[in-house]
A and B are shown apart, each in its own frame.
Chain A
Amino acid sequence: MHIINNKPKPFSQELKTVWRALPIAMVFAKRAIRIKYSHTALGLLWVIVPIAAYVVIYSVFFSVLLEIDTRETPYPLIAFSGLLGWNYFKDIIHNVGPSLHQEGEYLKKNVLPKFIIPLYKSLLGLVELGISLGLFFILMLIYREPLRLSILILPVLIIINQLLGFSIGIWVCNLSGRRRDVVHLAISGLNVAIWLTPVFYLPGLLPEVYEPFLYLNPMTTLIGAYRWALLGLSFPPAYAWAALLIWGVVLVAGIRTFFRRQYELIDYL
Chain B
Amino acid sequence: MIQVDNLGKKFGIRQQSKGQPTTEKEVWAIRQLSFTLPKGKALGLIGPNGAGKSTLLKILAGIYLPTCGQAILSGQSGAVLDIGSGFHPDLSGRENIKFAGRLAGLTKEQLEAALPEIIAFSELEEHLDTPVKYYSSGMFLRLAFSTLIHTECEILLFDEVLAVGDSAFQEKCFQKIQSLKQDGRTMIMASHEPAKLAQFCDEVMVMANGACQFLGPAQKALSFYSKHFALSPTPQPRDSRYLEQLTYEGATVIGELPNEEIAVTFTVKLKVKSRPLTVAIALTDSLNQLLFSGHQPLVMENVNANESMEVQWSFPKSHLNEGLFWVNFYLFEEQNIVEQLPKVGQLEIPPYQDPKRNIEGGFHAIHIDSQIQVSYE
Contacts and interface: CB of A to CB of B under 8 A. Distances in A.
Contact of B78 (A105, A108, A111, A267): A111
Interface in A1-47: 1-6, 23-24, 27, 31, 34-35, 38-39
Contact of B64 (A1, A23, A39, A263): A263
Contacts of A2: 72-77
Interface in B33-76: 58-76
Nearest to A39: B90
A187 to B, nearest CB: 25
B64 A266 contact: yes
A110 interface: yes
Given A4-B59, A31-B88, A110 B81 contact: yes
Given A109-B82, A111-B77, A112-B103, A38 B90 contact: yes
B86 interface: yes
A106 interface: yes
Given A27-B99, A35-B90, A111-B61, A1 B72 contact: yes
A51 interface: no
A48 B168 CA distance: 51
B366 to A, nearest CB: 41
A267 B64 contact: yes
Contact of B66 (A4, A108, A110, A111): A4
B71 A109 contact: no
B74 A4 contact: no
B91 A4 contact: no
A107 interface: yes
A109 B72 contact: no
A57 to B, nearest CB: 33
Interface string B322-366: 000000000000000000000000000000000000000000000
B38 to A, nearest CB: 15
Nearest to B84: A109
Question: In the complex, which of the residues B64, B65, B86, B95 has the most CB atoms of chain A within 10 Å of its own CB atom?
Answer: B65
Given A2-B73, A2-B75, A23-B102, A109 B86 contact: yes
B199 to A, nearest CB: 25
B21 interface: no
A243 to B, nearest CB: 37
Given A35-B88, A105-B85, A106-B86, A5 B70 contact: yes
Contact of A34 (B66, B76, B91, B104): B91
A138 B86 CA distance: 41
Interface in A89-133: 105-112
Question: In the complex, which of the residues B59, B62, B64, B72 has the most CB atoms of chain A within 10 Å of its own CB atom?
Answer: B62
Interface string A165-199: 00000000000001000000000000000000000
B134 interface: no
A38 B78 CA distance: 29
Contacts of B78: 111
Nearest to B77: A111
What 4 A-B pairs come out closest when comparing CB atoms?
A263-B65, A5-B70, A109-B85, A4-B71
Interface of B: 11-12, 14, 58-79, 81-82, 85-86, 88, 90-91, 95, 98-99, 102-104, 107-108
5 contacts: A2-B72, A2-B74, A105-B85, A106-B85, A109-B63
